[in-house]
Structure 1
């Protein structure tokens, strides 16, 4: 199944964001870079550590034109209650989408059958609504927001610099590669 380059599918959801409930659709996502950050459930253990880590880099992502949508199969009401009671989750200023009907989790193929929870998964969507990055980890393995930030910088650079690619561990400002016949076998 091809995931990279596939289109964002239609959805409608209610999110908790900065003290309000707001409606979000796929149309709201198009035209900018976006992160869909799926996690299993509110009021759990690894999830708040990841969401707080992401909250810490959210201002940097916003400065890069990237919006963040965390998604679980909980309701937007549950997201508000968690935000109001957890110091880690209280730091979040990005969208916390409720996916109790499982539409978004199914659209991205990360709903655990028979369980009703989303896998721990990250998708980066480009402004055209196409998936450019995917990461899925097992429930007990948390993600690293700094590495996500590095990957988004590389994806944005690659899209804006045709003919160049970003090698392993590439950091912003470092040398890229220009694939060519003469480069084959020389790396």
Structure 2
């Protein structure tokens, strides 16, 4: 699996960006789409499942806070953009999702990142914070049955953006460590 310090792989994927008409529901997103911004890219196993929508909603609830930190949130799975659209229309918590859902149907990005569950053929539950230079600064993976904590990802982003030493359980506004 790629990790902290590795370059995030090049990608060019179709994405579901709204639940409007088919003409407006999709866009193509690549590494340059959000050039100069931080990226939060989180992968989940499958649409129409149980843990995944709770996480997607959780990241959606914090989207404006990520945006305030110049960070673009991107959800991703190996499902198609059409399945993403159907799920967003079907699931009340996903109707107005404020960020794109990437469709890695060829599994190139999940493979390049090393997060493809080869037995199931789906993405593992993985999270990456990528700096504006395209370098991974945070990576973690949980078991498929365990949901993430979007607030913790936001906390880590805040710490990374200080460019300072941040102690255990540090939160935005807390003192950072000073080397004597």
Structure 2 unaligned blocks of 5 or more: 20-24
Structure ID, larger Rg:
1
Instruction: Show the counterpart of 1:99.
Output: 104
Equivalents in 2 of 1:82, 1:167: separation in Å? 40
1:174 aligns with 2:179: no
Instruction: Show the counterpart of 1:88.
Output: 93
User: Which of 139, 147, 162 does residue 144 from structure 2 map onto?
Assistant: 139
| Cα-Cα RMSD | 1.3
Instruction: Show the counterpart of 2:22.
Output: none
User: Which of 117, 124, 128 does residue 122 from structure 2 map onto?
Assistant: 117
Q: Deviations over 1:29-57 (max 9, x none)?
A: 43110011000000000000000011000
Q: Deviations over 1:44-103 (max 9, x none)?
A: 000000000110000111111100110100000110111111011123110100011001
Instruction: Show the counterpart of 2:51.
Output: 46
Moved over 4 A (4+): none
Equivalents in 2 of 1:88, 1:76: separation in Å? 18
| TM-score (normalised: structure 1) | 0.89
| TM-score (normalised: structure 2) | 0.93
Instruction: Show the counterpart of 2:77.
Output: 72
Structure 1 residue 26, shift from structure 2 partner: 1.5
Equivalents in 1 of 2:16, 2:152: separation in Å? 26
Equivalents in 2 of 1:126, 1:5: separation in Å? 10
Equivalents in 2 of 1:146, 1:38: separation in Å? 16
Instruction: Show the counterpart of 2:42.
Output: 37
Structure 1 residue 2, shift from structure 2 partner: 6.3
Structure 1 unaligned blocks of 5 or more: 159-163, 181-187
Equivalents in 2 of 1:91, 1:27: separation in Å? 25
